[in-house]
Amino acid sequence: MIDPQELANRYVEVWNERNAELRRRQIAALWVANGTHYVGTREARGYEELEQRIIGSHEKNVALAGNRFRAVRDACALRDVVTFHWEMLAGHDDTVLAVGLEFLMLDTDGRIVTDYQFVPGQAQPSSHG
């Protein structure tokens, strides 16, 4: 059984990681090879697309804006699912600039198969056409 908070912390670390090679290794350790990440209307599938998605967020929010992400200490697991909230903080203090919810579906080894990211206020695809 995995520790859901430890997984949440590792997940958030990859979005803060500045070293490209270390970030690649973290992605491979967290996700299965054909893992998916969904946020709003975007989809990333497989290591290359996951890496590009994370790089885009990192460059915008961490490298350029000086912010950082942290996992809220509310991670919980139920069977093959882990959920937790995260916060994006201003780099100079703990002012919360954004929040989100992760819903992670895991394989039997505890690696992410599907990652649903919910960010309040962000456009979500409609299921009603």
pLDDT in tens, 115-127: 999 998 755 554 5
Q: Which residue has the tokens 């893992």?
A: 35
Per-residue model confidence (pLDDT) at position 110: 97
pLDDT of amino acid 125: 53
Give the separation between CA 69 and CA 67, rounded to whole angstroms: 7
Alpha helices in 32-77 (DSSP H): 46-57
| Predicted confidence (pLDDT) per residue in 12-45, tens digit | 999 999 999 999 999 999 999 999 999 999 999 9
Q: Which CATH architecture has domain 4-118?
A: Roll (3.10)
**pTM metric for this prediction:** 0.91
pLDDT at 1: 74
For the chain, the structural domain boundaries read: 4-118
Q: Which of 46, 84, 62 is nearest to 14 (CA)?
A: 62
What's the pLDDT tens digit per position in 58-73?
A: 999 999 999 999 999 9
